Amino acid sequence: MQNPINLIDPTGMAPEDGDPKRRNSVVIDGSKSDKHDKALKANKKAVQKLDSSVTVISAKSRKDMMNQISSHLEDSEKMGDVSILSHGNYDDTGFYIGKDYINTKSKMESLGVELAKYSDSDTNIAITACHLGAGHNPESSKDMLQILSNSTKANVFTSMTWGAATENRFNNSDVPYFFSDPTYTVFDKTPLSPVNYKDKELGKTRLNSIKNLGNTLYLRPNSNPKIIKDVYFTRTGFIKY
């Protein structure tokens, strides 16, 4: 079967003989209002532009996400490309699924075991949480995410800098949006750089995130992590690089 990372199919994943049928999905936070969360507001607008073949999961919690994945997939159907639009934390590596924060190796492994019921080596999981791939301790980030890749047997992609939340993420299936956009700006429309960027909320410099502007951490089961660029999301739910 062709690797779905490199395939854009407006009709969804058409399996070859003997291959399982697959479904692309996008997960957003369903646990709170977007009134004070600009990223969530942008994500809600973004998913409205997805092709109807893509399943949108508004998850209140990790358990809620798993219940929805189970209910949406038909018998013997597998997850295709899964995009989890989430928040992260530079000083406490992890990502949110609804109200639940996945920030330890044990949580990452147990999540992977649950997802493994529906994933395999042709499944791709992208997590947009800021700093997940390179927070204050990049090696710890790699170790935790490698556990997720190993336990799901899936490919895992995550931003090594700020995750650019934009309502245009899935705007056009022919012109997909960057996963980690090096031109993305956070505060006062000031471009990020080691010279002029300092987090105004926490008063701490995000040095590892600055060093990794535009970088995505790519993990494969039982393989060494890679750093890649130019990862895209598409309107049909595919993750492409």
Res 65: pLDDT? 98
Res 16: pLDDT? 54
Beta-strand ranges (E) seen in 41-102 are: 55-59, 78-84, 95-97, 100-102
Distances in whole angstroms, Cα of residue 70 to Cα of each of 67, 81, 100, 101, 214: 5, 15, 19, 21, 34
Report the relative pairing of strands 78-84 and 55-59 from DSSP bridges. Answer: unpaired
Structure tokens at 12: 């969804």
Res 57: pLDDT? 97
pLDDT tens figures, 81-120: 999 999 999 889 999 999 999 999 999 999 999 999 999 9
Res 197: pLDDT? 47
In whole angstroms, what is the distance from residue 5 CA to residue 123 CA? 9
Q: What is the pTM of this model?
A: 0.84
Res 71: pLDDT? 94
**Residue 34 region by backbone torsions, left for phi larger than 0, else alpha for psi between -120 and 50, else beta:** alpha
Give the chain's residues under pLDDT 50.
1-14, 184-199, 201-203
Res 17: pLDDT? 52
Res 1: pLDDT? 42
Res 13: pLDDT? 47
Enter the DSSP assignment of 192: P
Please say whether the beta carbons of 148 and 156 come within 8 A: yes
pLDDT tens figures, 58-80: 999 999 999 999 999 988 899 99
